[in-house]
Amino acid sequence: MIQKIAVFFLFMIVVSCHAVLVTFTNSNLAMSTNNTFYEITSPGLSPSYIPNASTFTLGFDGSINDPVNARWYRFTFNLPVGYTNLRMRIRFTVDNEAQVFVNSYIAAVEDDTVVENFSSPYPDFQLNANNTVTAYTSNWDSLPVNQSMFQAGQNSIFIYATDNGGAGGFDLLLGEIEYNVVVPEQNNLILFACFAMILLIHLKKK
């Protein structure tokens, strides 16, 4: 009987799930020193064009003007081992085009030079916890983003924004990553400690 109760208390410790929300804005984006212009065309710019991580040493600059007509941005975050139900939402305004990468994968492509990219409601999408994708706007040419692109440990979101001529710019309006993580509950740990003392006393009496 004592053994069964012990198993029950151990189960109580590990079943608690908590949602963790990570938000990121322009101030969280590092910018690369390599801002060579490449035309974004379907099915998207190859991940091989992503600059080396060591080049992301600049603070955010949203202006994309001649002769600098492209920007590479990077946001890094960590996911714990055993994370579940990941959700990611990104919304921005760009003049003219943009592409999103998750690690070394193409996640979202908008390769049309249209005013909708810098007019409300602005390009907006979400990867849902059930691995479906919601396009809140019709701007996107493709949204191949999926759960398999993420990994436990360090992850990077890259955004490549371009201007096809004249004044342009990029502004991250919303960046969210949410996931569930299993953590010990403090109250359950206290209960388990009390039970452990009772169990120890019980064993000593035998």
pTM summary value: 0.82
pLDDT at 82: 94
Residue 55 domain-assigned?
yes
**Domain membership of residue 127 as a residue range:** 18-205
Average pLDDT, the chain: 87
Residue 95 domain-assigned?
yes
Residue 4 domain-assigned?
no
Residue 1 domain-assigned?
no
Residue 8 domain-assigned?
no
Residue 124 domain-assigned?
yes
CA distances from 58 to 30, 40, 101 (A): 6, 23, 19
58: CATH: 2.60.120
Helix (H, G, I), strand (E, B) or coil at 197: helix
- What is the rounded distance in angstroms from the CA atom of residue 143 to the CA atom of residue 110? 9
Answer whether residue 34 shows pLDDT above 90.
yes
pLDDT tens digits along 99-118: 999 999 999 999 988 888 88
Residue 9 domain-assigned?
no
- Looking at the structure of the chain, the number of domains it has is 1
CA distances from 2 to 5, 49, 143 (A): 5, 61, 53
Answer whether residue 7 shows pLDDT above 50.
no
Residue 74 domain-assigned?
yes
Q: What angle do CA 118, 121, 127 make, to 5 degrees?
A: 105
